[in-house]
Structure 1
Amino acid sequence: MPDLIAPGLRILFCGINPSVYSAVVGYHFARPGNRFWPALQASGFTGRLLAPSEQEELLTLGYGITNVVDRATVSADVLTAEELAEGGRRLEAKVRRYRPQCLAVLGIGAWRTAFGHPKASLGPQPESLGGARVWVLPNPSGLNAHYRPEDLARLFLELRLAVDTSRP
């Protein structure tokens, strides 16, 4: 699954890993039921609901998408701790190279495991990664029933407002 990335982004959104469906169709967060695109629109990142096939429009807004682990799976819970840690090392190198202002990791468990922060919570993190500020959001997968769409919208909005107020 190719990254949607460019130097100097405002926010680089980072999923755990692509779904098999996303890998087949070639678009991030493409699986029906994934709540990433609705959360972006509901929180004001985008002015309208984008389809996964319109993902390139994010770059013009200063946003990109990558994943901690490249391997596509039916569910992220089959990833090993070793895969997540190795993916974390690759992600840090990517962040150093592309220098986004903020890295938004979409999955608290992935952040905890990949970067060795077992007590981390959602929201801004005390540490940076590769020079970027880090913010952790819930995994927007429809398989993650812990968060309702309105919860995701509120949490995504907190990130948007924090990044907007920190702009030079």
Structure 2
Amino acid sequence: MRVLFCGINPGLYTAFTGFHFARPGNRFWPALHRSGFTSRQFDPSEQALLLPLGMGITNVVDRATATAAELGREELVAGGAALAAKVRDLAPATLAVLGVTAYRAAFGLPKAQLGLQPDAIGSTAVWVLPNPSGLNAHYTPAALAEKFAELREFVGRTES
């Protein structure tokens, strides 16, 4: 697997549909396409089409909530430990965590920034992207796609 994308946790709409980043207004799928990871914009129901492209999706925490703010620190830390074990087992080339605040809490790294992280998990590089939720107004769709494109370029360089 080239990239394992990791959301914070499923929202209620995503839990209802069973598809990652399914809520209308979530910008994951448009950013994935606009950044060049996919040749067209996938519908959340097409998430299985990522696997043949060397990509997968998981979450830090499995519990569905209306907003990620409902998650407690202990829950994020436990989710971070479970995610690290999953990454060691699957050994994707890159783990892309979608949400710097959740990443900081889950891995006890309060000063972590977006982009490539200094510490890998086993042989897996770790990259932090902005949260693509429509609730994250700090990033426009174009700015979000630009951050995803930086990851795509990194992944391309590491494959060479």
TM class, shorter-chain normalised? over 0.9
Distance of 1:103 and 1:155 partners within structure 2: 15
Distance of 2:159 and 2:93 partners within structure 1: 9
**Which of 26, 30, 52 matches 1:34?**
26
**Which of 134, 137, 142 matches 1:150?**
142
1:126 maps onto 2:127 in alignment:
no
TM-score where L is the length of structure 1 = 0.94
**Which of 6, 12, 15 matches 2:7?**
15
Runs of 4+ displaced beyond 2 Å: none
Q: Which amino acid aligns with 1:84?
A: L
Q: Which 10-residue stretch deviates more, 134-143 or 122-131? A: 122-131
Larger helix share, 1 or 2: 2
Gapped regions of structure 2 (runs ≥ 5): none
Q: CA RMSD in A?
A: 0.6
**Which of 57, 66, 75 matches 1:74?**
66
TM-score where L is the length of structure 2 = 0.99
Gapped regions of structure 1 (runs ≥ 5): 1-8
Structural mapping, 1:101-116, within 5 Å:
101-116=93-108
- Kept in 2, the 8 Å contact 1:95–1:131? The answer is no
Identity %, equivalent residues: 62
